[in-house]
Every structure is written in C-alpha cells, then in structure tokens.
Structure 1
Amino acid sequence: MYIFRSINEIINTVSAARGLLTEMFEKRKTLNFKYSDALLLLKGDENRLKILIEKEIIRQNGNEVSLDIRFQEFFELLLNANEEINTAVIDENIEFLHELMDYYLKERIPSRKESYIRNIKITFRKIAYTTIRNIMSLQDSIDHAVKHEPTYQIKIARLENLDKKRINIQRMIDATEHLILHEERLFFQQATDEELANILLELRQELQLSAHSLISAQQDIINYLNQIKSQIVLVEKIKKLKYLQDQFELRTRSNLAEVMEREHSLLVEGTSSPSFKLSISYLNTDEARPVILKVIRNLQYRKAIQSNEAGAFSAEEMETQATYQETIDLNETLNDYIQAQAQKLWNDEAAQPDDLFSFLMHHRFRREVSEQERTTFFCQIVSLYENHLRITDEYGVYHQYEYAKIYPDVS
C-alpha cells in the first residue's frame, strides 16, 4: 500500500490528473474504463498514468482501470453522492465517545483533558452529519425502489430491507440520546465547555427532526407495500379471468352474468381519429415539417414509456403471499380526537375533556391495534402536531406508562 508523504503530494498528484479523475468518478457506476481511454484523457502521457497507478489513486486490472475505493469514497463524502446507508459508523462513534469520556475523567493534565474534549466535539459533529446523510439516502432509496425497480419481488425485498435500516437509524438516534441524557452524566457535569454545550443542543435538535423524518419514511414504506400488494392481487384476479375466458368457462365458473346484470354504467369511449396517409410530394414540402416533427416526438414519448414499464408478472411473483399492516392515518386520528372533545363540551359545558393518551387507549381503529402501538401513535402525534395541542404539567398513569396530559389547543 502506497503511503503519501504529505498533503501537498496528494493535492499535486490529484490536480495533475483532475480531468481523468473527474471523468472516472462521474462514470463510476456505468462504465468500465479502458487503459487506452485513460491514456487519451491524459493526452498520451503514459508516465503520469503509471504514477497514478503506482500511488494507488487508480487501480489497473488487465486492460481496464478504475478509481481506488478510498478516493471514490472521499469524493462521494464531500459531494454527498453516496446512497449507501451505514449505521455501523454511528455505532462506532458512540463507542469511541464512551472511551474518550472515560479517558477525560481519568486524566489529570489540563492540556490532555482539552485534547479529549476536542475529539469529543468532532465525534458528535460526525454523528449529526452521518445521521442526516443516512436519512436523506433512506428517502432517496425508497423513492428509487418504488419508481425504478421493475421486478416486484425485488421491489418488496428492497422496501423491507430499507425498513430494517430505518429501524437501525432510529436505534442509533435513541442510543445517542441515552448517552447524552443518562449514561455519561458524570462527564457532562465536569466538562463545562460552552462550545460543547452548543454542539449538543444543535445535535439534539437535529436528532429530533431526524426522528420526525423517520416517521414519515415508515408511513411511506407501509403505503408503498400496501399498494404493491393490491396490485398483485388485482393482476392475479385478471389472470384467473383470462384463464377462464380461454377455457370458455367464464360464465359457468364465475358470477360474471350476475355482475353484468347489476352494472348499468355507460361505457365512455374516446373519439378515434381517422387514419390517412400523406402523399410523398406533400411530405417533401416545408409545410409538412411541423407534422413530421410532431410524429417524431410522439414516437420518442411512446418509446420512453415502454422502457419504463415493469413488464409482465411471473408465476413465482403471483405466489407471493406476503401480508402487510394497514396504515393508520395519524392526521385523521387527531381530527377524530379534536371532534370528539368538541362534541363532548358541546353536550356538557362543565364536562372535563379526555386527554390524548386516554382517548387513544380506548379509540376504535379500523384494525386491531395493540397497547404498545397506541403508545407509539401518542408519541408520533405529539411530535408531528405539537402546534395543535396543549401540553400541561400534569401527569397520568396507565398500567406501566406514565404520560403527560395533553389536550386540544383551543386558543
């Protein structure tokens, strides 16, 4: 492994080949670079290309070259161009923080204690940046899986794996909060650094926003999985009808006749434009040019649509019997709560409205909802719709839960 002797050596080497490195980075996912193409971009300077290979900025494999993974990851990090979701880095940083805080408490030399504080600040900033970057990559990956993955089984598997990564990100956020608030109290009592306090304040605000984004991502994943499930069920029914139609058993083995007797909808058909051919002499005139260009644009549009089609379902895809949880609309639940309390006060002005937690514990949802889910809904509604609620200083107890009493904000 080549070891650079100074930062100047790295900058000068990269700068001398910036055109080639830019081209290789932009095409890192779509093109295998030929040695001859790289040489052409360096204007035939084979000695410079060999230096890049010797210093391991570029890797050579036979007739092909590729950007070294260290430099590729470095460029992706600075340009925020990596879609990878990596929660292990946050886990390592949290473990590193425990070590640094332990060293700080045991150290007696002020200058060395200050160096530990500096490294702790840097690590907290890394956690904040990595968390935000992971959430942005998560949302982009969800959208990409839904819009561009043509195979339904892979689309479902990707969404399920992304949901696991969402859970890991939430676990890392909780671990960071627990470290700040509970695990290292002795350190924070002794380390009275103003800049560190500001960093922690900003970090907790960013973690709170990140938690809100994860709730939105969870809702998106559930909605997309439910949509895919309904599409699979619909296509399966269509295939069964097609099979019965091919066997001339559609009327005898289905209730088609009964459905058609009840159906009285009017079939609305679009107007069909007449098909006619233009003469060669007319097509050769300038007057026909706009018509020809319009036809070309329509053909290109149809090809673009066909290239994005997901294709037919296979027999294996139709056998997938996955079931997904029906999503609960939190906004609708909050509206139900506000309306219920308004109706209660309308009927009896002296009545005491129910707090939000008590309402959720007894509310009838469209599906069976466990006690743990109801407490989760409580936390999510408070996080998302805090402006519509009035949080009091009173506390209530329900089984093993102690909760703040929250009412609709009527101000």
Structure 2
Amino acid sequence: MKTFSSLKELFAILSREHKLITEIFEKRKVLAYKYDDALAVVDYNEDKISALIEFSVLRENGPYLEIDDQYLQFFEQILEVNEEINVSYINENLQNIKQNINYYLQENNEHRKYNYLRQIKSAFRKTGVIAIRNVVDLRRNIDNTFKNEPNYKIKKAKLEHLDVKRNDISALVELTDQLVSGEEEQTFFKTALDEELQRIIVGLKMQLNSSRHNLIDIQKQIIEFLNRLKYQSGLMEKIRQLKYLKDQFELRSKTNILTVLNADYALVYEPNPAYPLKLSIEQLQGDDETLDIIKKVVERNKSGVRKKQSVADHNLADYLETDTEEITQINLEEVKNSFLAGSNNLFDFLQSYDFGRPVSFDECVTVYCQLISQYDMHFRLTDQYQKRNDTEYLLIYPL
C-alpha cells in the first residue's frame, strides 16, 4: 500500500480521476459497483484504477469497487450528506477543551499558551458545527425512516433508537453549555482576554440554543410518528380481520357491522345533492338574452354528424369453436388471507392448505414464490431456512 508523499500528489490523483470517484460516491448506497463499469469510465485504462487502489482511495472487493472509509467519511462530512449521527465526537471535543484549558492555566510560556488557546478556539468551533450537523442529520433520518421504511417493526425500532440518539445529543448540548456558561471554567475565560474567543463563544451559544429548540421539535415529531405507527398498526389489523371475514362470507354473522353502519350518519354516506336550475316560464317568454344563451348551449352540444353503425356479418361460423378447455386457477388473495389468519410458516401452511384439488409439490413451490413476490409487504421474512424434497426454502410468517 502506497502513501501520498505530499498534498500536491493527493490533489493531482483525485483531480485526475474525479469522474470515477464522483460516480462511485453518487452510487455509494448501491452495494455493488462493478469493476467493469469503472473500466468504462476511465476508458479501459486499468492503471488508473490500480493507482487508486494502491493509494487506498478505492478498495477492491471481488468484482466490485468501493471508496475507502476515510475518504468516504471525509466527502460526506464536507458535503454534509452524512446520515450517521456521531455523538462521541462532541464528547471527545469537550474533553479536549477541558484538558487544554488546564494546560493553558498551568503554562507560563506565552508562545505555548497561545498554542493551547488556538486549540481551544478550534475545538469550540468544531463543537458548534458538529452539534448543528447532528441535529440536521437526526431530523433527516427520522423523516426517511418514517416515510421509506416498509417494515413496521423495524421502523418502530429505528425511531426508538433515534430517540435515544436525541437524548444523547441533548445531554451533550447541556454539557457544552455548562462548560461555556458555568462557574467551573470562568477562571480561564477571565484570564484569556481574546476577542476572537469571545466571538466564538457567542456564536457557540447561539448554535447551542438553536440545537436545543430543534431537539424539542424533534422529540415532538418522534412522539407523533410513534403514535401514528401505533394507530396505523391497529387499524391495519382491524381491516385485515374484516377483509378475511368478508372473503369467508362471515362478516355479518360474526360482527355487528350492520348495527354500526345503521347508527352512523356521516356525510360520506349521504347521496350527492343536485341543484337543478329551473327557469320560469315568464322569464323564457320575455327575456331575449336567456333565449340566446339557450340557443348557444344547444348549438354547442349539437352534433351534425351522424355515425352509421356497421352491421355484423350473419355468418359467424368461422369464429365459433367447439373445443373448450377448462383451467382451474388458484386464488392467491384467498390463500394469503387464510395464511395471515394463522401462525404457521408459509411453506408448511401451503402443504396442508385445501386448494379444492390435488396440488403437486412443484405447484406448491410455485404458489409459494408467487405469494412472496406479490404480498411480501404483509409477511415477516426471517433468516432461517429449512429443506424438503431437495428444495431449500425460507421460513416466512404472518406480519
């Protein structure tokens, strides 16, 4: 593995292969960027790709390429597209600030004291920026999780985990505020009479205050999303049960749906009212403007072209076929509803399900695959497998 000897060499290689690095970065969430695709970008010059791999800018994983983690993290932080929330970095900055403050107060040499002061100011600037960025990333992750995560259980677990992250960020914001405004470090702030430090502290307080208010809004948002999930889960379960009873023609006998509907006078059940405009005979007889308007409407709706309908040929013997073929199809919707009402895994359920006719093992495997492809959103896919008749299948349960 080679290392860059200077910044000039680093910038030269990154600039020369910026097209390839940009494309891989834009597709970083695609788990497989093929080596052959990278060759097409660099005009099939393998030396260019080999140079990036030797300098650890890219990593080769079989037939695929990935950007190295340190470069990927650098690009995401600079472009502010990092979705990972790192609260430990703020804590490390706070510990670094405290240590440098102690070094500053104990140091007698002015030149070394200035170096400690410079490190303290840099750490304060980083702390404010990281706090704001973590809050922005937290809000974006919450929105993406609620809108894009299809699995209910995973969505709920992710939101609860993000709420823990919110508590961690809130605690670190309070620790930073105590460090800046508390009495413990006031000796340093009174001793270090530096105008730039004062401006940094004022800006940091504003950033902390903004983060604090945004974290309160994020907490309300998480609570709202979790309540929505709870409501939607209960509603979907009721709808699923009603749909199953309807398919089994047991909705009226096993529920009080008729009583509920008869007692509900919601506006949605009312017919749409019609308000016809009836003109009086006196107005029609004495108002010429009304007559002109009626004539315009009649002319607009009048069509002078009469279409002649073609008559079909009486001799239809050529279109009639005496041979018929009956095909018995399996109702996948009914099979899915019966499976969701039980607790067995999908493959064992299909083996014992009554299809109304004999079903072979191969047909059962086909129905298994069709159900997964059409109704995977309603199933809970595990990572366990079983084997039957030399066929390995995944264990799937109702959601």
Deviates more, 1:247-256 or 1:195-204: 247-256
Contact 1:146 1:155 in 2 (8 A): yes
Q: Distance in 1 between matches of 2:194 and 2:8?
A: 34
Q: Are 1:256 and 2:322 matched, yes or no?
A: no
Q: Distance in 2 between matches of 1:211 and 1:228?
A: 26
Structure 1, residues 175-194: CA drift from partner, whole Å, max 9, x if none? 10111122322211211111
Q: Which runs of 5+ in 1 are unaligned?
A: 271-308, 321-411
How many corresponding residue pairs? 282
Q: How is 1:86-105 mapped onto 2 (pairs within 5 angstroms)?
A: 86-105=86-105
Q: Distance in 2 between matches of 1:5 and 1:215?
A: 48
In the alignment, what sits opposite 2:40? 40
Contact 1:150 1:310 in 2 (8 A): no
In the alignment, what sits opposite 2:208? 207
Q: Distance in 2 between matches of 1:243 and 1:184?
A: 67
In the alignment, what sits opposite 1:151? 151
In the alignment, what sits opposite 2:223? 222
Determine helix, strand or coil for the equivalent of 2:60.
strand
Structure with more contact order per residue of length (Cα contacts < 8 Å, sep ≥ 6): 1
Q: CA deviation at 1:315?
A: 12
Q: CA deviation at 1:3?
A: 3.0
Q: CA deviation at 1:314?
A: 5.9
Evaluate the alpha carbon distance shift between residue 230 and residue 6 of structure 1 in structure 2; reply closer, same or farther with a 3 A threshold.
Answer: same
In the alignment, what sits opposite 2:296? none
Determine helix, strand or coil for the equivalent of 2:269.
coil
In the alignment, what sits opposite 1:239? 240
Letter in 2 for 1:34: K
Structure 1, residues 3-44: CA drift from partner, whole Å, max 9, x if none? 322111111111111111111111111152222322332223
Evaluate the alpha carbon distance shift between residue 261 and residue 31 of structure 1 in structure 2; reply closer, same or farther with a 3 A threshold.
Answer: closer
Q: How is 1:1-400 mapped onto 2 (pairs within 5 angstroms)?
A: 2-30=2-30, 32-182=32-182, 183-246=184-247, 249-265=250-266, 267=269, 311-312=377-378
Q: Distance in 1 between matches of 2:211 and 2:134?
A: 10
Letter in 2 for 1:8: K
Contact 1:121 1:196 in 2 (8 A): yes
In the alignment, what sits opposite 1:407? none
Letter in 2 for 1:223: E
Contact 1:59 1:65 in 2 (8 A): yes
Letter in 1 for 2:226: L
Contact 1:32 1:64 in 2 (8 A): yes
Evaluate the alpha carbon distance shift between residue 37 and residue 109 of structure 1 in structure 2; reply closer, same or farther with a 3 A threshold.
Answer: same
Contact 2:378 2:398 in 1 (8 A): no
Evaluate the alpha carbon distance shift between residue 34 and residue 237 of structure 1 in structure 2; reply closer, same or farther with a 3 A threshold.
Answer: closer
Q: Distance in 2 between matches of 1:313 and 1:51?
A: 47
Q: CA deviation at 1:155?
A: 1.1
Contact 2:380 2:398 in 1 (8 A): no
Contact 1:131 1:210 in 2 (8 A): yes
Determine helix, strand or coil for the equivalent of 1:52.
helix
Letter in 2 for 1:158: K
In the alignment, what sits opposite 2:394? none
Contact 1:151 1:310 in 2 (8 A): no
- C-alpha RMSD of matched pairs (Å): 2.7
Q: Distance in 2 between matches of 1:178 and 1:96?
A: 15
Evaluate the alpha carbon distance shift between residue 52 and residue 244 of structure 1 in structure 2; reply closer, same or farther with a 3 A threshold.
Answer: closer
Evaluate the alpha carbon distance shift between residue 261 and residue 61 of structure 1 in structure 2; reply closer, same or farther with a 3 A threshold.
Answer: closer
Deviates more, 1:117-126 or 1:179-188: 179-188
Q: Distance in 2 between matches of 1:52 and 1:229?
A: 49
TM-score (normalizing by structure 1): 0.63
Q: Distance in 1 between matches of 2:101 and 2:252?
A: 76
Letter in 1 for 2:34: K
- Percent of matched pairs sharing the same residue: 41
Q: CA deviation at 1:268?
A: 5.6
